[in-house]
Structure 1
Amino acid sequence: MSRFGKAVLLCLALFAAWHFCSTLFADVPPGPGGDPAEEAPVASDAAGKASGLPLAREAGVREAAGAGRNFVISPLSIHAALAMVTAGARGDTRRELLGFLGSASLDELHRSPAIKLVGSINGLTQTSFACGVWVDQRRALRPEFTATGASRYAATGESVDFVSGAELARRRVNAFVADATNQRIHDILPPGSVHSSTEVVLANALYFKGAWRRPFDVFTAPFHIPGGTTVRVPSMTTGRSQYIALYPGFRALKLPYRTDGDRQAAAFYMLILLPDSGILSLTDLYDKAVSMPEFIRKHTPEGGDFSGMVSGGDGRLSIGGVLHKATIEVDEQGTMAAAATAIVMYGSALRREPPHLVDFVADRPFLFAVVEERTGTTLFLGHVVNPLAN
């Protein structure tokens, strides 16, 4: 259950200075060739595969258990890139990709919340999304694939010379990604990754810049890293009420970003999942995060948004009680019945008793996610084990 409480959130002040770069694939074996036969249905397994979360979990667990490094990944970016590849696949290859992405068909994949979000993300203040396809001049993209890429992913196609100009082509892809991410991602294609055997490169770039709905104060506080070492780091704090929820073995904190313009447009927030000391590990939390398709949404603390009902304040109210009475009288003449229901709603200043205060002190390793509220799509997922490390 969500609770309003005093929140002390450590180490997020360092997010702007962090730069994580993870290599997730190297020497990927080719998929089955498969004849371009008619697509057969695939058993949908959205609980384990939707939106790139399983891959994010595997990579995150590896980093947490290995060198114990900070880590971030974009399930949405991976999901969109693989979805675009799936649109150009046929036969067994398409079936395997659809199974990995948790969809029964290409049409179902394109109707998924994540892909729908991709289609609208460029009209939002906080985000941008760009896709590109570079094909060797010896080849040509099929018109149906080009049309799908343009309509679903706003993808642009370009003919390049991978045989005699592989390095130039690599730099063009890298420049595309750097420009689309506001120079935050460089060299997505490392030297040697493109050569004369390359025929197609697909890439997408996701950029997000959100301002907290309510800014924090900054101070220095201790952070306990694995192994028993304590470091002092720039941290964030506030005494204002926050959205906090307590669950067995961990607690959650929701930090909304400011939303400009239409309230019906996409809204974003950061979710912090903090394991209780000695109860859960980061691996345990990663397992929970992909255990069901709605885990992140269901474990996001909420406050009721009734801004469509009242003006003033932030529209955040809570339903304090639902009172109902009913009566019915039946006799030889017929039936007479009546009912009444009253709903009592409280604002933060109108509670009949003081709210239960819960401190949220993220002074040890934790998971974080950047989530779009209406679709439940996870844009970024990662963990922090040492705020002073890259």
Structure 2
Amino acid sequence: MRKLPLLSLLLSLSALACSSSAPPEPPGATNEECHDANTPGCVVTSGQQRITSPNVSSADLGTLVDGNTAFATDMYKVLRSEPGNFFYSPHSISSALAMTWAGARGQTETDMAKTLHFDLPQDKLHPAWNELDLELASRGEDAMGSDGQKFRLNVANAVWGQVGYPFEKAFLDVLGLHYGAGMHVVDYVGAADQALELINGWVATKTEDKIQKILSPGSINSGTRLVLTNAVYFNAAWQTPFEEANTKNAPFTTSAGATVDVPMMQGHIEAPYAQGADYAAVELPYDGRELSMVLVLPNDLDAFEGSLDAARMNEVVSALSEKLVDTRMPKFKFESKFSLVDPLKTLGMGVAFSEGADFSGINGTGGLVITDVIHQAFVAVNEAGTEAAAATAVIVGETSAPEPAAITFDKPFLFFIRDIATKQVLFVGRVADPS
């Protein structure tokens, strides 16, 4: 049977921007509600409003976060072969693929769950994702962003479906109830350029233009049937900002062994600190102390990366204790972009990319297959705080004052941004050369 396009693209974005108010919808954005899939330019809702007070046990939420952490470190082990700096959002990738998983059946459902560490059944996992996203959306009520505006950590979802295509009501209900995603009706067959503009416009708006063209003209075509988009918007100031006057050029030894001069921030900060046999680490809270960045300086980068898993990450976090820390770290800003097809196949999700894929939960008949998963991410860290953005495109086609500790990040290091209460890891990165 010839494969029909399911999801021309599943985009999941994580971003940080610099405006305190909600950004306007992009020109031409569809926002008129309707209840059939035969009118381009409207938004089809499933008839189900998002559940804003999900009945999710703490055990189920913990199981979801533990699984997400395991996937985050699994992905790190595969991506570590990337040369130099890299940055990604496991939260974004997992969230986008969770929406896709709602339509997976049979071996495809099983293999995706194993790869993504979705250790809850469908009827519990999607409510848990809803609870997690609502928890994250509640953060930073009185906190500041890195740009002097309010702290922001917002999650948004949207779906872009082919006009007239027979989507399963149960699939749309899951997206509406647990992800707040209505379906924007577009015409990939007769007006692909307009669909491309609408999706790119939505992404750019939700990421404050950090990611302006997630889709290229070749990303969608007449075989596209559905695009799911997820956006996470983040902007946070440090709890204790670094003084700009203390930033001085200092040497940094890159992963290639070269020495470069970089702007090195410095501050005496009361912060959680740990020193293990093969690493030192510090946790820098953001304003409001609800999220933080944990930075890990290994003695041997390659050996530490080889040992990294969820247990190792939790071991580092558990070892942290409050201390006065003379912290020196470089300012840095960089982007990463890579295809996740091979990493996801390596982790066990190959069936979703094969002729044997079963996404019959989306259209009732199947014939849908993922053809590519593209991830792009941006991060900037300075004296004031952190700015980050990430996008994932899943393309499916028809076919008392103690002695202070000291830590100087003057050689390659790892970092991850996490929500402290839920322990959810939002972003992960490696700095090999901050210059």
Q: TM-score, normalised by structure 2?
A: 0.60
Relative distance call for 1:149 and 1:249 in structure 2 (3 A) is: same
Q: Superposition pairs for residues 316-331 of structure 1, below 5 Å?
A: none
For residue 148 of structure 1, report the CA deviation from its aligned partner: 1.7
Question: For 1:161 and 1:196, how far apart are their aligned partners in 2?
Answer: 9
What letter matches 1:230 in structure 2?
Answer: T
For residue 378 of structure 1, report the CA deviation from its aligned partner: 0.5
Match in the other structure for 1:358: 405
Match in the other structure for 2:298: 275
Q: Which stretch has the larger CA shift, 379-388 or 141-150?
A: 141-150
Confirm or deny that 1:298 pairs with 2:327.
no
CA deviations 1:175-218 (Å, max 9, x no partner) are 11111111111222223010111111112111111100011022
CA deviations 1:227-283 (Å, max 9, x no partner) are 331111112110233321001211110000002xxx8xxx1000001012xxx2146
Question: For 1:54 and 1:360, how far apart are their aligned partners in 2?
Answer: 24
Relative distance call for 1:202 and 1:51 in structure 2 (3 A) is: farther
Relative distance call for 1:296 and 1:241 in structure 2 (3 A) is: closer
Confirm or deny that 1:101 pairs with 2:121.
no
What letter matches 2:294 in structure 1?
Answer: L
Tell me if the contact between 1:269 and 1:372 (Cα under 8 Å) persists in the aligned partners: yes
Question: For 1:157 and 1:51, how far apart are their aligned partners in 2?
Answer: 31
Tell me if the contact between 1:51 and 1:76 (Cα under 8 Å) persists in the aligned partners: no
Tell me if the contact between 1:51 and 1:79 (Cα under 8 Å) persists in the aligned partners: no
Match in the other structure for 1:308: none
The structure with more radius of gyration: 1
For residue 75 of structure 1, report the CA deviation from its aligned partner: 0.5
Match in the other structure for 2:424: 377
Match in the other structure for 1:31: none
What letter matches 1:150 in structure 2?
Answer: G
Match in the other structure for 1:87: 102
For 1:230, which of 259, 271, 279 is the aligned residue?
259
What letter matches 1:229 in structure 2?
Answer: A
Match in the other structure for 2:5: none
Q: TM-score, normalised by structure 1?
A: 0.66
Tell me if the contact between 1:45 and 1:99 (Cα under 8 Å) persists in the aligned partners: no
Match in the other structure for 1:239: 268
Q: Which runs of 5+ in 1 are unaligned?
A: 1-14, 17-43, 305-350
Q: Superposition pairs for residues 1-390 of structure 1, below 5 Å?
A: 50=69, 52-54=71-73, 56-63=75-82, 68-102=83-117, 103-110=119-126, 112=128, 116-124=131-139, 125-217=151-243, 218-259=247-288, 267-276=290-299, 280-282=300-302, 284-285=304-305, 287-291=307-311, 294-295=314-315, 297-299=317-319, 301-303=320-322, 351=400, 355-388=402-435
Number of aligned residue pairs: give it: 284
RMSD: 2.7
Q: Which runs of 5+ in 2 are unaligned?
A: 1-15, 18-62, 140-150, 324-399
What letter matches 2:287 in structure 1?
Answer: R
CA deviations 1:272-320 (Å, max 9, x no partner) are 01012xxx21463364244568446435x2449xxxxxxxxxxxxxxxx
For residue 94 of structure 1, report the CA deviation from its aligned partner: 1.7
Tell me if the contact between 2:65 and 2:423 (Cα under 8 Å) persists in the aligned partners: no
Tell me if the contact between 2:137 and 2:155 (Cα under 8 Å) persists in the aligned partners: yes
Tell me if the contact between 2:274 and 2:280 (Cα under 8 Å) persists in the aligned partners: yes
Question: For 1:166 and 1:283, how far apart are their aligned partners in 2?
Answer: 47
Over the matched positions of the two proteins, sequence identity in percent amounts to 31
Match in the other structure for 2:31: none
Secondary structure, aligned partner of 1:374: coil
Question: For 2:271 and 2:418, how far apart are their aligned partners in 1?
Answer: 17
What letter matches 1:250 in structure 2?
Answer: Y
Relative distance call for 1:291 and 1:115 in structure 2 (3 A) is: farther
What letter matches 2:102 in structure 1?
Answer: A
For residue 172 of structure 1, report the CA deviation from its aligned partner: 1.3
Tell me if the contact between 2:415 and 2:429 (Cα under 8 Å) persists in the aligned partners: yes
Secondary structure, aligned partner of 2:237: coil
Match in the other structure for 1:314: none
Tell me if the contact between 2:282 and 2:295 (Cα under 8 Å) persists in the aligned partners: yes
